[in-house]
Chains A and B, each alone.
Chain A
Amino acid sequence: MIVKDSAMKRKWGMAIDLDKCTGCGACSIACNQENNMPIFEDDSDVPKRVAFLELMKVTNDRDAKFPDVKTAFLPKMCQQCEGNAVGKHKADPPCVSVCPAVATDVGDDGVVSQIWSRCIGCRYCQTACPYEARVFNWWKPEYEGSFKNSLSTDVSVASRGTIVKCTFCSHIWKRERDKATANGILDINAVLYTPACASACPTGAIIFGDLNDPESEVSKLAKSDRAVRLVNTVDDETPEKQKALMSKKQYANPKVYYLTSQKWLRDMMRFKKNS
C-alpha cells in the first residue's frame, strides 16, 4: 500500500514528571522486555550491563545533611537530542555526526535512530553522547534457554560489538503506522503511539507526544515552569543570550524534559550547587 506523502510534522518528545515518580522500576522492566535486552548471569555488573533505561537514584546529600535530605528517582534514557545549527553545520545530535557508518540518524519524526546491524562498533557515538545513553555489546547478547520465548519479533537482537540505545520505541510507532495504513488511515500525522516505559508507569509520570503539536500534553508540559532538561547549560541563559550562544556552539538540546518543582533536584540536574 502506498502511504500518502503527507508532510511529516512529528517531533516526538517526552516529559517525565519526577514529582510523580515513586521509583517503582516498572518503566525499566518494561523497557528491557520491549527491547529484548540481553540477559547475563550477573547483570548487576554495571559496566557490562546492557540496558536503555537507567533508573538513577538522586539525593541532595552532596550539600545537605540529615535530616534536611531528599531522595528521588530519575529514569534516564536517550534524551533524543535535537542539537542546534551552527553556521553551516546543520542541527545534529552530538552522537549522529560522528558516526562513520550512518548507523545512527535523525528521522523526520525527530527520533534519533540506531540501526544495530549497520553499526561497525567504533564507539565514536558513545564517546560523543553527553548522557551515557549508548551502550556497547561487549559480549554477544544472550538469553538463557526458555527466556528466548519472551523475545519480541519487533526489535532485532543485536550482535556482539555493536552500539545500542533507546529509540523511543520507534518500532511501536512503525507498528501503529502500519496498522493505521491497513485500516485506510493514510495521514500519518493522525497516528499516535506510546513507548513501553510510558505505558508501564503506574503513576503516569512519563508523558509522550508530539512537541510540534502545541495542543499536545507534552508540548504544554515542556513549556511549564517545572520543566528542566538534563545538564543542558544553555537553558539557564536569557533568550537573547541563548540565541547568541547557539549560533556559536552546539548544545545537546534534548527532547526529553523532566518536570519537578523541587529546587534541589532542578539544581542537581543543572549542575548547580544546592542553595
Chain B
Amino acid sequence: MKKIDRKDFLKIGGGAVVGGLAGYTLSGAPFLGFQWLVEWSQDQYVPAPGIEKYVQAVSDSCTNGCKVSVRMIGNRAVKIESKDGVCPACLNGLQLLYHPERISTPMKISGKKGSGNYQPVSWDQALKDISSKMNALVNEGKANTIAAVNKNESLNGQLMEKFVRNAGSNNVYYEPSLNSITSNALGGYVKYDFAKTDFILSFGAKLVEGWGNAVEMQKQFLNWKKNNVKIVQADSVCTRTGGIANEFVGINPGTEAVLAFGMANYLITAKRMTSSGDDFAKWSQLIINKYPLGKVAKLTGVAEDKIKKLADDFAAAKNPVAVAGKGAHGVSGSSAEIIAVYCLNTLVKSGAATLVKNSAVSYTAEFAGLDKFIKEGSFSMMFLNGSDPVYKSVYGEELKKKLEKAFVVAIAPLMNDSAVYADYILPPLSFLEAETPESKPAVKALKESKDAKEIIISLAAMVDKTKNALPKTSADAYKSAGRETAGGKFSFNFEKIKADIEAYEKKLGQNAEYPVTLVPYEAPLVGDGDGLAFPYVLKSIDPSVLNLGKFYVMMNKETGKKHGFSEGSSIKISSARGKLGKAYVHLSDVVAPETVAIPLGFGHESYTKYGNEKGLNPKKIMTADVDPLTGAADWWSTRVKIS
C-alpha cells in the first residue's frame, strides 16, 4: 500500500467529498458520495459463521513437534492454542496456512530464472520431469552432481538425505544450524543438561531468545530462576539474554573465542586443569603462547582480573557449563570458538554437556558444509527442501549464478529468494493440513499441496536407483525417524584450526580502512528472516528496528558522537565485500563501543509482498571466510567503514 500520512489522508478525504459533489453536479452520478460514506460506516467484512470446535495438530515449525489445539469455526482454523503456551513460530502456522501468496499447485518456470514467472502443472508432469532428469544423471554417472539443501533435520529433511544419498550423491547439506555446525566442529552436537547445572557461562548464545531448542529453553529459563542458577552472558550487544543474566560481561565484538582462550589459558596454567580431548597438548601450548591474559584483556576489553574471577567462579561451581552458538536463529561457523568454549567444559569436567548424534542425519558431505559447497562446489541438479540459502548464506549472490545454470527443484509453501531460481516449485502442506501418527489433518489441504514427506517418497519411487530405498508411506517414515546416539570423541582438531586461532589477533587488531565492527542482532519474531512473510510479525516490530520504511542500526552513543552520527541520521556501511544501502542510526548503549549492530532477517528480495524490500540484508557484506571444519562462513562480526 502506498504510504499516506495523516495530512495526505485529510486531503484525500476532502478530495473525495469534492469529487463526490463534482460527480453529482457534473457527471450525473449522484451516488458517488454515498459510496464513500458506506465505506466509512457499513462496509466491514463479516467472517463466515460455523460450529466451534477444537482439534489437535502436531507442529512442524521446528524439530520439536509440539502438540497444539486448533480452534475451528466450521472448517476454518482461527487460532492455535496450547495449555503450555505456544511459541511464535508455531502461531505463525495459521498465517502460513491462509497466506494469500501460498503456492497451491506444482509450478513450472515460464520465464527467466529469478523473474518469478511460473505456470501451474500437474503433479504427474512435475514428478515425471524431475525423476527422468535424475535418472538420466544417475545413468550418465553424474549422480554426484545432484545436491540437496535441507532447512533442518526434520523427518522430511531426513528423507531427503536418504533419497539423494541413495541416488549416489554425497552432496546433502543442511542450512547451518547450531546442531550442524557444532557437530562438524566437535564430532557431535552438544546435549546440554540445563536442569542439572548451577552456573551457565554463555559466550553470546541468545539463550532465552530462541537459541537451541526454544521450547525446552523457555522451560529451563523458569527453572533457573527458581533454582538460582547463575547466568553469565558475555556479548558485545546486551540483548534480552544479557538482560536476564545475573552478570553481563561486555566484550568487544567478535572476541567470544578470545575470551574463551584466555579463560582456558588461566585454568590450564594457574589451576593445572587438563582436557581429555585429542590434541590437547598442542592446542594448550598454542593458546598459552599466543593468548596470555594481558593480550586477551586488551583484545576483549575485559580486565585481566575480571577474566580470572570469571574463570575461578566457573571452576568453583558444582556443575558449570559453558555455552557457545551465537544467535537465536542465525549461527556463525567458527569452530575455533566452538572448540575453545567446549574445552572449558572438559577442563572443569562439566556433567551438563555431552556430545551426541542423530542416527539419521549425517553432516558429512562432499564439502565440509554448505557455504564451502556454494563457494567451491558445482551441481547440475539441486533440491531446496524448505531452505532459502540464497537469502541466508553470505554466498547468496554466488549461489544465484549457480542456480541459474542448474535444474532446481524447490519444495516451498511460499516463494522465497532461492525458490525464485527453481525450475519446479512443489507445494508442501502446512502442519495444520498434515496427518501425523498422533493427529488427523485439522483442515483440508489447500488445493493440490502435498505433505513434503510424500513428495520425496513419490519422487524416490520414480528414480530407479532409489526405488526401494525409502519407506513406502509417510506413516512408515515416522518409524524410521532418527534416534539420538552417542557422539564421537572430542578432538581439538589442532592441525585444522591452528591457523584460525592465530588469525584472531590480526582480525581484531587496528584496521585503518575499516575501523568499526558490524555485528547482527535478532528482533523478536523476525529471527533470521523466516518470520518476515507474516503480517502479524511486521505488526510487532519495534519502531527502533523498522519504522515508516526506515531501517535502523544501533550504534553506541560515544561512538556515534566520535564518527559524527546523531539519532536518526542516515548511515552507509561498507566492508571489503561491498556496500549496503541506506540505513538510519539509533543511538543506544546496549551496543559495545566501535560497534554497529544490524538487525538480521530483513532485506528479502522475493519473500512475498509482506517480506520484500523491507530493510537490508547484512549478509551481503558480512565476512565470508569459510571455517575449515564446519564449512560454514564465520560471518558474525565484520570490519566495516561507516559514512
- Report A's interface with B, CB cutoff 8 A: 19-20, 22-26, 28-30, 32-34, 36-37, 39-47, 49, 51, 55-57, 59, 61, 64-67, 69-73, 138, 140-141, 143-153, 156-161, 196, 199-204
Q: Tell me the bound Cα distance from A30 to B243 in angstroms.
A: 24
- Among residues of B, the one whose C-beta sits closest to the C-beta of A34 is B79
Q: Interface extent on B, as a size class?
A: 35 or more
Q: Which residue of chain A lies nearest to B73 when distances are taken between CB atoms in the complex?
A: A153
A51:B539 contact, CB within 8 angstroms: yes
Given A70-B243, A200-B91, A202-B86: A25 and B524 interface contact (C-beta under 8 Å): yes
* Separation of A145 and B558 alpha carbons in the complex (Å): 48
Across the interface, name the chain A residue whose C-beta is closest to B615.
A44
Q: Is the CB of B242 within 8 A of A71?
A: yes
User: Is residue B212 within 8 Å, beta carbon to beta carbon, of the partner chain?
Assistant: no
Task: Tell me if A24 and B87 are in contact (CB < 8 A).
Answer: yes
Whether the pair A41, B77 counts as a contact (CB closer than 8 A) is no
Question: Do A156 and B44 contact each other (CB < 8 Å), given the known contacts A44-B614, A46-B548, A202-B215?
Answer: yes
Query: Contact at B250–A66, with CB atoms within 8 Å?
Result: yes
Most buried by A among B42, B78, B248, B591: B78
B509 contacts the other chain (Cβ, under 8 Å)?
no
Residues of B428-450 contacting chain A, CB below 8 A: none
Q: Shortest beta-carbon distance, A26 to chain B, in Å?
A: 5
Identity of the chain A residue whose Cβ is nearest the Cβ of B535 in the assembled complex? A39
- Among residues of A, the one whose C-beta sits closest to the C-beta of B532 is A44
A26 and B76 CA atoms in complex are apart in Å by 21
B9 with A44: CB separation less than 8 A: no
- CB pair B99 A42 closer than 8 Å: no
**Does the CB pair B88–A26 fall under 8 Å?**
yes
Q: Is the CB of A66 within 8 A of B592?
A: yes
Nearest-Cβ distance from residue A151 to partner chain B, whole angstroms: 4
Q: Are A152 and B44 touching (Cβ within 8 A)?
A: no
**B85 CB to nearest chain A CB (Å):** 4
Could you list some 8 contacts between A and B, CB below 8 A? A20-B221, A33-B94, A34-B79, A44-B539, A71-B240, A71-B242, A144-B100, A200-B86
User: Nearest Cβ in chain B — how far from A208, in angstroms?
Assistant: 13
* Interface-centre pick from A24, A25, A56, A66 (highest chain B CB count, 10 A): A66
Whether A204 contacts B40 in the complex (CB less than 8 A), given A42-B538, A146-B102, comes out as no
Determine the chain A residues whose CB is within 8 A of the CB of B208 once the complex forms.
Answer: 22
Residues B41 and A20 in contact, CB atoms below 8 Å apart = no
Instruction: Answer yes or no: B81 CB below 8 A from chain A CBs.
Output: yes
- Give me 13 other A-B pairs in contact (C-beta within 8 A), A46-B548, A201-B85 excluded: A19-B244, A30-B86, A44-B539, A55-B524, A56-B542, A66-B589, A69-B238, A71-B240, A73-B524, A152-B47, A159-B41, A159-B43, A202-B218
Across the interface, which residues of B come within 8 angstroms of A199, CB to CB? 81, 83, 85
Q: Which residue of B lies closest to A30 (CB)?
A: B91
Given contacts A33-B536, A47-B5, A152-B78, A41 and B610 within 8 Å (CB-CB)? yes
* Residues of A contacting B243 in the complex (Cβ-Cβ under 8 angstroms): 70-72
List the A side residues contacting B83 at CB < 8 Å. Answer: 199
Contact between chains at B541 and A44 (CB < 8 Å): yes
Asked whether, in the complex, the Cβ of B549 is within 8 Å of the Cβ of A57, the reply is no
Residue of A nearest to B91 (CB): A29
Q: B556 to chain A: which residues have CB within 8 Å?
A: 66
Q: Residue A71 contacts which of B87, B222, B239 (CB distance < 8 angstroms)?
A: B239
Q: Is B514 in contact with chain A by the CB < 8 A criterion?
A: no
- State the Cβ distance, B310 to closest chain A Cβ, in Å: 13
Nearest chain-B residue to A202 (Cβ)? Answer: B85
A186 nearest CB across to chain B (Å): 22
Residues of B within 8 A of A72 (CB): 240, 243
Is there an interface contact between B218 and A22, defined as CB atoms closer than 8 Å?
yes
- Chain A nearest CB, measured from B245 CB (Å): 9
Distance in angstroms between the alpha carbons of A275 and B243 in the assembled complex: 17
Q: Are B218 and A69 in contact (CB under 8 A)?
A: no
With a cutoff of 8 Å between Cβ atoms, the chain B residues found around residue A145 in the complex are: 100
How near does chain A come to B302, taking the closest CB pair, in angstroms? 9
Does residue B590 face the partner (Cβ distance < 8 Å to A)?
Answer: yes
CA distance A150 to B79 in the complex (A): 7
A42-B1, A49-B539, A71-B242 known; A149+B81 contact, CB < 8 A: no
B87 contacts A26, CB within 8 Å?
Answer: yes
In angstroms, Cα B540 to Cα A47, docked, is: 13
Q: In the assembly, what is the distance between CA of A211 and CA of B118, in Å?
A: 58
Q: Do the beta carbons of A44 and B91 come within 8 Å of each other?
A: no
